Structure 1
Amino acid sequence: MLFFSINTIAQWLKDQGLANVFPGIIDHLAADFRRWPDFHKSARHATYYPDGVIELMPCADQNYYAFKYVNGHPNNPALGKLNVLGFGVLTDAHTGYPLLISEMTLLTAVRTAATAALAARYLARQDSQRIALIGTGAQAEFVTWALSTQYQGCQIHYYDTDPQAMRKYHDNLAASSIPVFPADSIAAAIHGADIIVTATAAKCRADLIQSLMLSPGQCYLGLGGDCPGKTEFSSEVLQQCKIVVEYLPQSLVEGEIQNLGPDSVHAELWELIAGTKKGRTTPEEITLFDSVGFALEDYSILTWLYKLAENGDICPDSVLAIVPDLADPKDLYGLVKA
């Protein structure tokens, strides 16, 4: 069983450069979404606590079974801990044998950003240049890099209620070629924006975007809501948008559409990618990708990692002896007999 640590994944992403990595990941995700009917799908299994949520996210096809353990604890940063962390496992569906285990704190941020950029292909205007980023926490830099690979020459206007998070974001991107500009309010960041990303963590029913802020042709990427009772958009704003989700049964429980219901949804993302439904059809439409993160995205990035390892493009930390190697597969007791 191949083992990939946080240090190995971080070093590989640094060596390759996110600008070079994201296009391949986005295309890999698109290929998996396009074959949506091939997958065994279910909403994630979530256990809720007063301080947060712990989830298991499984997804499988006929060749691989994958799952991710992930949490969401918004108060963790005040304790010096991550809000979201995770690890993932990929197994051979034909034998049940594990193939790899990997950190998925970084990989979750990468796949979330890649999925948002993929959705923007179908929901944003192709000539989009100004991007607003509301929330500059752990996800912010990744979605910035992902979108910048799809919209060459774009500029980012960003805002967060936490000045320290804004400074962190600015400092992390200071040496990049991506032009970033701080704003003093959500309204200022959104003004004139073609694509608006919301990525906030507070577990409450927020109303980040007021109806008067909406402008024809905007595309909203809602990345910051994924539990019951936690939203970023009011029902009044949602009713003015063409809404696309990842997996409707899961989104109804923890997405923005928990405010409205299934009739508010235009399509699942795979339908746009497969061409069975249209995304943006006019320059004036206001669109929203109501993203909560779905297990197919974890399956996709784990199989992407496994293929890299098979091709020798990334080396695991080690090979873990998780499964016994027996001369007689019926003699498990032989391991302890001596």
Structure 2
Amino acid sequence: MTTVGFLDVAATARWIAQRGPEAVIGRLIDALADDLARWEELDKRPRIATHSRDGVIELMPTADDATYGFKFVNGHPSNPARGFQTVTAFGVLADVHNGYPTFLAEMTLLTALRTAATSALAARHLARQDSRTLALIGCGSQSEFQALGMRAALGVTHLRAWDTDPAARAKLARNARALGFEVHEATSGDDAVTGADIITTCTADKANATVLTLEMVTELAHPGVHVNAIGGDCPGKTELDPRILHAADVVVEYEPQTRIEGEIQQTPDLAVTELWEIVTGRRPGRRETVRAPQGAGESFERGVGERSPLDATTGRTQVTVFDSVGFAVEDWTVLRLVRDDVPAELLAHLDLIAEPADPKDLFSLVRDAGGADADAVRHSLDRLMGLEGRTRPHARESAIA
């Protein structure tokens, strides 16, 4: 009997805890870079999305010539108010050569890991290498993972956190301090981005919102700021002032999908670069290489309106934006990494593949599953229907066969 390895939520959490979440994200950054390097070999397509007034349910498939994978995921912004998670997911890998599923895993936690790793990989190429202060606008389920990803990629040490929900902000501050970050609980979005080197926007409201303006980027953040926009991920859901996009170098995962779902749905004619092109060196990432004069965390406690002066000699004014909506290749990467790394004792095994002795005799599984219990059920039905003792030629023939 062929069984399929299954990693449930509790086992996934144990695997992450055993390996260390920051270490896992660091490994995943490198795995993503490897897969993006062979981008042109992969089967790619925009995800299949079913939208409703409550949210969206999506199927995200991709494959190479050996392994197929997909993720089932939802996004329902109003769920927390009803006692449910905003996002839940599971994923499957299958063997391309026979179509058999080979691995099944929860992907709510794994999606958080891969989103953070993708953000961190982009920041490695797009943010200033001396970036130490991360502004988080939105302190929900993704925020701790984002902080760990930026520390793994760039050595970020300071967080400036803002959320309209005080409980979410306090939760992030509590968890992040335990992880070793210096945390400033901001009083507004303006306060959060003041002195920031990287700004991550990750809000859940399914609307064309503007949580980050051009003035916040150019007048409050450090020069050469990198914007990691990950909350806009479906039609009609955005977070950035479109003027930011026109003023920045914009990078996306997969342009056909991002045109529909990302920030660039607001700017249909804007030229963009796909992340794989930068990872492989086909296109440039951040063009500025001179380190900033300030030290790690400088300006961390500055008040709104204070910022370091522009450095006219280096032209340190390039703004970069990673317009990330999440793409299936990222899920495929994390599923394969987990499948190859998770200890056997954390896996359950599911009988998902029907394998009769004769591949053409599928009905034999039903016939052979009956046994004595099936006979008892048949006799009970006969009594109820008044057929007990009568001849049942088909039943007799089946028993003989």
Q: Tell me the TM-score normalized by structure 2.
A: 0.81
Are residues 1:289 and 2:322 paired?
A: yes
Alignment equivalent of 1:270, drawn from 271, 276, 282: 276
Are residues 1:196 and 2:202 paired?
A: no
The 5 A counterparts of 1:227-306 are 227-261=234-268, 263-282=269-288, 283-306=316-339
Q: Deviations over 1:142-183 (max 9, x none)?
A: 111111112225211110011010111112223221212111
Q: Deviations over 1:75-94 (max 9, x none)?
A: 00001110011000000111
State the distance in 1 between where 2:18 and 2:184 align: 27
| CA displacement at 1:317 relative to structure 2 | 3.1
Amino acid in structure 2 at the alignment position of 1:248: E
Amino acid in structure 2 at the alignment position of 1:239: H
CA contact (8 A) 2:163 2:169 kept: yes
Are residues 1:331 and 2:387 paired?
A: no
State the distance in 1 between where 2:60 and 2:346 align: 23
| CA displacement at 1:306 relative to structure 2 | 1.4
Q: Deviations over 1:44-75 (max 9, x none)?
A: 00000001000000011101100000000000
| Aligned residue in 1 for 2:150 | 147
Amino acid in structure 1 at the alignment position of 2:256: P
| Aligned residue in 2 for 1:226 | 233
Q: Which runs of 5+ in 2 are unaligned?
A: 289-315, 369-401
CA contact (8 A) 2:92 2:104 kept: yes
CA contact (8 A) 2:131 2:155 kept: no
Identical counterparts, % of pairs:
46
State the distance in 2 between where 1:214 and 1:166 align: 21
Relative to structure 1, is the Cα distance of residues 153 and 292 closer, same or farther in structure 2, using a 3 angstrom cutoff?
Answer: closer
| CA displacement at 1:319 relative to structure 2 | 1.1
| CA displacement at 1:189 relative to structure 2 | 0.9
Q: Tell me the TM-score normalized by structure 1.
A: 0.96
Q: After the TM superposition, list the runs of 4 or more consecutive aligned residues in structure 1 that deviate by more than 6 angstroms.
A: none
Relative to structure 1, is the Cα distance of residues 294 and 203 closer, same or farther in structure 2, using a 3 angstrom cutoff?
Answer: same
Are residues 1:25 and 2:28 paired?
A: yes
CA contact (8 A) 2:133 2:156 kept: no
Alignment equivalent of 2:49, drawn from 38, 46, 49: 46
CA contact (8 A) 1:225 1:292 kept: yes
Alpha carbon RMSD of aligned pairs, Å?
Answer: 1.2
State the distance in 1 between where 2:244 and 2:344 align: 44
CA contact (8 A) 1:244 1:265 kept: no
Amino acid in structure 1 at the alignment position of 2:354: P
Q: Deviations over 1:238-261 (max 9, x none)?
A: 111110000001000010000001
Amino acid in structure 1 at the alignment position of 2:275: L
Are residues 1:125 and 2:128 paired?
A: yes
SS of the residue aligned with 2:285?
coil
Alignment equivalent of 1:180, drawn from 177, 180, 183: 183
Amino acid in structure 1 at the alignment position of 2:199: I
- Matched residue count: 334
| Aligned residue in 1 for 2:109 | 106
State the distance in 1 between where 2:271 and 2:346 align: 41
Q: If you compute each CA radius of gyration, which structure gives the higher value, 1 or 2?
A: 2
| CA displacement at 1:22 relative to structure 2 | 1.4
State the distance in 2 between where 1:38 and 1:316 align: 32
CA contact (8 A) 2:11 2:346 kept: yes
| CA displacement at 1:140 relative to structure 2 | 0.5
CA contact (8 A) 2:173 2:183 kept: yes
Alignment equivalent of 2:348, drawn from 310, 315, 318: 318
Q: Which runs of 5+ in 1 are unaligned?
A: none
State the distance in 2 between where 1:21 and 1:296 align: 17
| CA displacement at 1:288 relative to structure 2 | 0.2
Amino acid in structure 1 at the alignment position of 2:122: A
Relative to structure 1, is the Cα distance of residues 85 and 241 closer, same or farther in structure 2, using a 3 angstrom cutoff?
Answer: same
State the distance in 2 between where 1:152 and 1:227 align: 31
SS of the residue aligned with 2:207?
coil
Amino acid in structure 2 at the alignment position of 1:260: T
